[in-house]
Amino acid sequence: MRRLALLAAAALFAGTATVPPAAAGDTYKFNLHNKSSQYVINGFQTYENGAWSKNWINFTLKPGEAAEMDWGTDEGNCVVPFRVSWIGYEAEKFSVDWCKVKNIYMKDQGFSWD
């Protein structure tokens, strides 16, 4: 089953709240945090089956804001590339193990996760 087909991205601007790792029968969830000093996030896409997904988000994330994101499934590859776009800038490509990620922190340069 394609994870992207079941994607249900939620825009919960909950500061820096964390989401527990997926439990049996739960979906892969994580928080996207904008830890940049001045950039506004306007896009988040994943790369599967040779193509980039549609934009997961229909909102913007200003510096200091966060949103809960949800794959909508607990199946599929754990390592899936993603890219984040910023208003006025091209998207940057990254990769993480989604089975282990609870938070993605986008920074002025690069990102981190836990």
The CATH code of the domain that includes 102 is 2.60.40
Domain residues for the domain of 95 are: 4-17+28-113
Going by pLDDT thresholds of 50, 70 and 90, the confidence category of residue 25 is: low
| Whole-number Å distance between alpha carbons of 46 and 52 | 6
> Do residues 71 and 27 lie in contact, with contact meaning Cβ atoms separated by under 8 Å?
yes
40 domain residue, yes or no:
yes
**How do residues 26-58 score in pLDDT, each as one tens digit?**
788 899 999 999 999 999 999 988 999 999 999
37 domain residue, yes or no:
yes
23 domain residue, yes or no:
no
